[in-house]
DNA sequence: AAAATTAACAACCGCCAGAAA
DNA sequence: CTTTCTGGCGGTTGTTAATTT
């Protein structure tokens, strides 16, 4: 739009520092010694000055612009103005369908790497792309549509698979061409892997396209709308720390993470990097460390359908720190993820001995005091747990009947019942994901390479073969995570989210035996009934309309002998 | 026709990394 | 080696036009 430029400003074209350039429309500025630097919309007069300057001096040295041209703008602002509006060969106007398609594809591959994406779109700026995408996110979200069209997902999947293959055969030296050339980082592997089920698993008839980015974008597309999803960068910051700590993260996830068990510091790192809290509570009856208000609010958040499926709780959204997910928010949880994903996360998140029960929460980067408090408390509890579990690690087990967990379950069940409509398109069925301690072993005690028969719960449609089809080996899965984590912390985060969340699958629900083990027979039975109900009353919802930002984080890392 | 909502855009801010001093 | 400067990037906010109610 050209609305911001008042064409009458042309009359003000002047290089006189005392001209209206210096203060016209000044909506507050900063001083830099030479005067007040103007902020706000650029006038065409300022544009002319800047263009003239660049013509004479070339790009760069933006801080000198003011000195040489008398333009009362900071160098940063000048650079931005030049890059986004004045530089030649800029393509203006709406994105063409082709460009839109490209953006979608690129975003599927790169995530919020606007500058890189812009490099693929001649004449377009990162800002343009970013704005377009954010708008798209809002629009799609509002419409309840998936962010990525299915073809993009499939494409990403194929690339992902090729990339994995390539990495596997070349030792990672030569990844997918795109990955290497364009700095494509790890595609959203875990999600892509799920997408793979689309064509394999009957239980995933139309796995909606979603990726780590998707999830993230759901959360970061706009703080206005997704304020309770951790923005990528902040998560990356947290993750970076852990990645640093895991410099030996060479695929041996277990060893890498187990090393984290060495100290409170590492525990802290885990907490921060994974956005986890470790509210281990020796007293299961007081398991939920969140204040009731937070819980409730978190519920509203996690239920936080922007379409306000629970309007009564809506107002809490703005009052609460982001991402305080209650353990009890069942009604809004998605459906359980398929076993491989669970195991993937299991593989990655090796709860060190003594970590004990871990509640994974998603910590907002914009921690409020409350959240900080919770984190602090979690750290303390974590520390406590490490100490205590050292004494009793051999006997520390997680069982369906475990009091602590059952308390959670009870809460969940109550919540579930309270929600009344557990299978509504946006209040999907729920499950707890249990991250067991020893990776190769699922909660049910089954070795990881022996994929659990998820059909146990769906009773009909879940098969285990796809697991083997997609992940040929444990090494491969580890490899994926290694690659993922090494180059795409946000994807890791997403995987973390994924792992600690539940997966919404159109028309179908997958439940792992791990979950079953946790829930116990009665609950599982109820769950199955509910699933059946879901099937019959399905409205064809998918991830696209699923509230990722809702993802509760009731992930329990339990110890296993 | 007015108000409300949504979309599109522009610009700023904070953070970070690399280069230069 | 440390500090400072600069440019770049991504997230966020604010404004306005367009559309809907």
Q: What is the pLDDT of residues A190-217, one digit of tens each?
A: 333 333 333 323 233 333 333 333 333 3
Give yes or no for CB of A130 within 7 Å of strand B: yes
Max mean pLDDT among A82-96, A182-196, A466-480, A488-502 falls in A82-96
- Residue A155 above 50 pLDDT? yes
Helix (H, G, I), strand (E, B) or coil at A495: helix
Question: What is the distance of C-alpha A104 from the center of its chain?
Answer: 17
Give yes or no for CB of A472 within 7 Å of strand C: no
pLDDT band at residue A163 using 50, 70 and 90 as cut-offs: low
Instruction: Specify the pairing of strand A30-31 against strand A36-37.
Output: antiparallel
The per-residue pLDDT for A470 is: 31
**Nearest Cα to Cα of residue A332 among A123, A480, A545:** A545
Give yes or no for CB of A471 within 7 Å of strand C: no
Angle between helices A489-500 and A212-220 (to 10 degrees): 90
- Residue A64 above 60 pLDDT? yes
- Residue A45 above 50 pLDDT? yes
The per-residue pLDDT for A134 is: 84
The per-residue pLDDT for A56 is: 83
Give yes or no for CB of A134 within 7 Å of strand B: yes
Distance CA A453, CA A476 (A): 20
State the Cα angle at A301 between A300 and A305, rounded to 5°.
85
Residue nearest to nucleotide B10 (CA to C1'): A41
Say how far A340 CA is from C4 C1', in Å: 50
In sign, the C-alpha dihedral spanning A441, A442, A446, A447 is: negative
The per-residue pLDDT for A10 is: 36
Say how far A4 CA is from C15 C1', in Å: 8
Instruction: Specify the pairing of strand A36-37 against strand A555-558.
Output: unpaired
Quote the mean pLDDT of chain A. Answer: 46
Residues A410-416: what's their mean pLDDT? Answer: 36
The per-residue pLDDT for A59 is: 83
Domains annotated for chain A, with CATH where assigned, are 7-86 (1.10.10.60), 97-181 (1.10.10.60), 231-558 (no CATH)
Say how far A520 CA is from C4 C1', in Å: 62
pLDDT band at residue A372 using 50, 70 and 90 as cut-offs: very low
The per-residue pLDDT for A165 is: 54
Cβ atoms of residues A505 and A146 within 8 Å: no
The per-residue pLDDT for A164 is: 54
CA of A40: nearest nucleotide by C1' is: B11
Give the CA diameter of chain A: 82
CA of A230: nearest nucleotide by C1' is: C11
Residues A432-454: what's their mean pLDDT? Answer: 31
- Residue A419 above 70 pLDDT? no
Q: Which two tokens mark A552?
A: 């509760």
In sign, the C-alpha dihedral spanning A175, A543, A207, A359 is: positive
Tens of pLDDT, residue by residue over A242-299, are 333 333 333 333 333 333 333 334 333 333 333 333 333 333 333 333 333 333 333 3
Helix (H, G, I), strand (E, B) or coil at A31: strand
pLDDT band at residue A37 using 50, 70 and 90 as cut-offs: confident
Helix (H, G, I), strand (E, B) or coil at A516: helix
Alpha helix (H) ranges present in A182-319?
Answer: 189-200, 212-220, 223-226, 232-245, 253-258, 264-274, 292-302
């Amino acid at each position: 739009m050209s609305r911001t430029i008042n064409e009458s400003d042309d009359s003000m074209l002047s290089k006189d520092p005392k001209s209206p350039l210096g203060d016209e429309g000044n909506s507050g500025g900063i001083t830099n010694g030479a005067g007040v630097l103007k902020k706000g919309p650029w006038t065409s007069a300022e544009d002319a000055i800047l263009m003239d300057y660049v013509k004479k001096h070339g790009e760069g040295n933006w801080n000198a612009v003011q000195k040489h041209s008398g333009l009362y703008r900071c160098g940063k602002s000048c650079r931005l103005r030049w890059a986004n509006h004045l530089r030649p060969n800029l393509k203006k106007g709406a994105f063409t369908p082709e460009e839109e398609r490209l953006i979608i594809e690129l975003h599927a591959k790169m995530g919020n790497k606007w500058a890189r994406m812009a490099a693929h779109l001649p004449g377009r700026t990162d800002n343009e792309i970013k704005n377009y995408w954010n708008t798209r996110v809002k629009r799609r979200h509002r419409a309840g549509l998936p962010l990525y069209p299915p073809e993009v997902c499939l494409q990403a999947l194929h690339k992902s698979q090729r990339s994995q293959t390539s990495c596997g055969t070349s030792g990672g030296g030569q990844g997918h061409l795109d990955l290497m050339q364009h700095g494509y980082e790890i595609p959203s592997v875990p999600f892509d892997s799920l997408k793979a089920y689309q064509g394999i698993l009957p239980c995933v008839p139309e796995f909606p396209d979603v990726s780590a980015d998707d999830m993230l974008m759901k959360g970061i597309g706009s703080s206005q709308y997704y304020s309770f999803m951790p923005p990528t960068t902040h998560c990356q910051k947290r993750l970076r720390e852990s990645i640093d700590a895991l410099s030996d993260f060479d695929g041996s996830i277990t060893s890498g993470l187990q090393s984290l068990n060495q100290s409170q510091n590492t525990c802290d790192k885990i907490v921060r990097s994974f956005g986890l809290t470790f509210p281990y509570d020796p007293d299961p009856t007081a398991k939920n460390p969140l204040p009731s208000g937070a819980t409730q609010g978190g519920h509203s958040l996690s239920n936080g359908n922007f379409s306000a499926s629970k309007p009564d709780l809506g107002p809490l959204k703005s009052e609460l720190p982001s991402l305080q997910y209650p353990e009890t928010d069942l009604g809004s949880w998605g459906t359980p993820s398929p076993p491989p994903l669970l195991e993937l996360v299991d593989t990655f998140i090796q709860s060190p001995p003594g970590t004990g029960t871990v509640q994974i929460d998603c910590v907002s980067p914009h921690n409020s005091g409350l959240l900080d408090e919770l984190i602090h408390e979690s750290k303390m509890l974590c520390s406590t747990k490490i100490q205590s579990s050292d004494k009793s690690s051999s006997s520390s087990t997680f069982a369906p009947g475990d009091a602590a967990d059952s308390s959670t379950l009870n809460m969940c069940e109550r919540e579930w019942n309270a929600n009344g409509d557990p299978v509504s398109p946006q209040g999907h069925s729920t499950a707890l994901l249990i991250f067991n301690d020893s990776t190769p072993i699922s909660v049910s005690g089954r070795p990881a390479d022996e994929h659990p028969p998820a059909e146990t719960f769906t009773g009909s449609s879940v098969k285990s073969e796809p697991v083997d089809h997609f992940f040929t080996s444990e090494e491969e899965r580890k490899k994926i995570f290694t690659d993922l984590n090494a180059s795409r912390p946000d994807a890791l985060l997403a995987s973390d989210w994924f792992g600690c969340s539940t997966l919404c699958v159109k028309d179908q629900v997958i439940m792992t035996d791990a979950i079953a083990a946790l829930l116990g027979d009665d609950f599982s039975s109820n769950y199955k009934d509910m699933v059946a109900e879901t099937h019959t009353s399905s409205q064809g919802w998918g991830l696209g309309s699923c509230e990722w930002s809702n993802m509760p984080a009731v992930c329990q890392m339990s110890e296993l002998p």
